[in-house]
Amino acid sequence: MRVIVPPIKSQGIKTKLVPWIQALVPGIRGRWIEPFLGTGVVAFNSGFRETLLSDINPHVIQFYQGVKDRVITPPRVREFLEREGQLLEKAPDQGYAHFRIVKDRFNKSHDPLDFLFLSRSGFNGMMRFNRHGKWNIPFCQKPERFSRSYITKIVNQTRDVACLIHSDWSFMAESFEKVIMMAKKDDIIYCDPPYIGRYVDYYSGWTEQDEQKLFDLLSATPARFILSTWHHNDFRTNPFIDTLWGKFNMVTRDHFYHSGGKLENRRSVVEALIFNFPANIRKHNHGMEPKPEQLVLLEERAEYITQQVSQACE
Ligand SMILES: C[S@@+](CC[C@H](N)C(=O)[O-])C[C@H]1O[C@@H](n2cnc3c(N)ncnc32)[C@H](O)[C@@H]1O
């Protein structure tokens, strides 16, 4: 499966887990609903024609709404990044002076192209906002960040998502409660909420009350749902698996991630998918064996993505 990689980056991005998640998606033809959209990588690889996508962070939503409205287009992204990339390269203080200009401009006007610039030139592809809602990630310290090949990569990623986003894709900047309440029987809700205590920022505080509220809403929904969460790491077990989510189905898988670029920062975690429908699966480390009709629909969805992204969608 070719995974569509979005132009926006964030530390919690689920790119590596996409095939695992998609193999579990049941054969239904309603909407793909994603209340914690983040970079959108899971939605862009869902292969659903109709979606409802939301995040409490208005900047990601504004960016993708701009793509939908054809205000943000691949040529415009190229033109913008070439111009700003040159200014960055020539700026004093090893590029920092221009990074600060873009950061200050974004914090005042919230221009989605400035948001893209910050997302792609910040330290380690991280996204974080301080308690006043201002961009809070330092420069990656590479004045030549926007090389020709890097810009082309971002332009192509923008083109891929532009080809997939069309009139049946709806975007909202709302908290998860409102979005989950909108789900109907034939929809699937994919939830990837923040983990308590990890990367807390203006848009990703998460409390026990939030987890309880999410549990109550997902327990009551007529739709199918898949929840991404962590099962355990070397030090702790996720207490909510026992106290809340245990009544649903679950699969787990080992996952390695880097917090920072260094090898010694490689950490392992066992990821879990919790879901409310029957599935033919082995419980740990992938080994999913989707039912034949599920496989047909998975292939159909992958084929749909391939068709969409092979169009000329400038
Ligand atoms: C773990 S990230 C999602 C990552 C995403 N699956 C990806 O691969 O990029 C969690 C997201 O939830 C959003 N969020 C936090 N609190 C929220 C809330 N109460 N309602 C809706 N979204 C929320 C954050 O802004 C963040 O984008």
Structural domains of the chain sorted by starting position, each given as residue range(s) with its CATH number in brackets: 15-69+168-309 (3.40.50.150), 74-161 (1.10.1020.10)
What is the structure's pLDDT at 260?
Answer: 55
Distance between Cα 94 and ligand 1 center (Å): 33
Distance between Cα 193 and ligand 1 center (Å): 5
Low-confidence ranges of the chain (pLDDT < 50): none
What is the structure's pLDDT at 286?
Answer: 52
CA–CA separation, 59 vs 38, rounded Å? Answer: 10
What is the structure's pLDDT at 134?
Answer: 96
Give 2-43 pLDDT, tens digit per residue: 899 999 999 889 999 999 899 899 888 899 999 999 999 999
8 A C-beta contact, residue 7 and residue 121: no
What is the structure's pLDDT at 22?
Answer: 92
Quick check: CB of 57 below 6 Å from ligand 1?
yes
Report long-range pairs for 266-271 (Cβ below 8 Å, ≥24 apart): 267/233, 267/234, 268/233, 268/234, 269/230, 269/231, 269/232, 269/233, 270/230, 270/231, 270/232, 270/233, 271/17, 271/228, 271/229, 271/230, 271/231
What is the structure's pLDDT at 294?
Answer: 73
Identify the helix (H) or strand (E) that includes residue 164. helix 148-164
What is the structure's pLDDT at 202?
Answer: 84
Quick check: CB of 128 below 6 Å from ligand 1?
no
Distance between Cα 293 and ligand 1 center (Å): 31
What is the structure's pLDDT at 204?
Answer: 84
Distance between Cα 204 and ligand 1 center (Å): 7
What is the structure's pLDDT at 284?
Answer: 63
Q: What is the residue with the minimal CA distance to atom 12 of ligand 1?
A: 36
Identify the helix (H) or strand (E) that includes residue 41. helix 41-44
* Radius of gyration, CA atoms only, the chain: 20
Q: What is the residue with the minimal CA distance to atom 20 of ligand 1?
A: 175
CA–CA separation, 262 vs 35, rounded Å? Answer: 32
Quick check: CB of 194 below 6 Å from ligand 1?
yes
Distance between Cα 83 and ligand 1 center (Å): 31
What is the structure's pLDDT at 83?
Answer: 98
What is the structure's pLDDT at 180?
Answer: 98
Q: What is the DSSP string of 125-152?
A: G---B-TTS-B---B-S-TT-S-HHHHH
pTM for the predicted model, two decimal places? 0.94
8 A C-beta contact, residue 136 and residue 121: no
Quick check: CB of 12 below 6 Å from ligand 1?
yes
Quick check: CB of 214 below 6 Å from ligand 1?
no
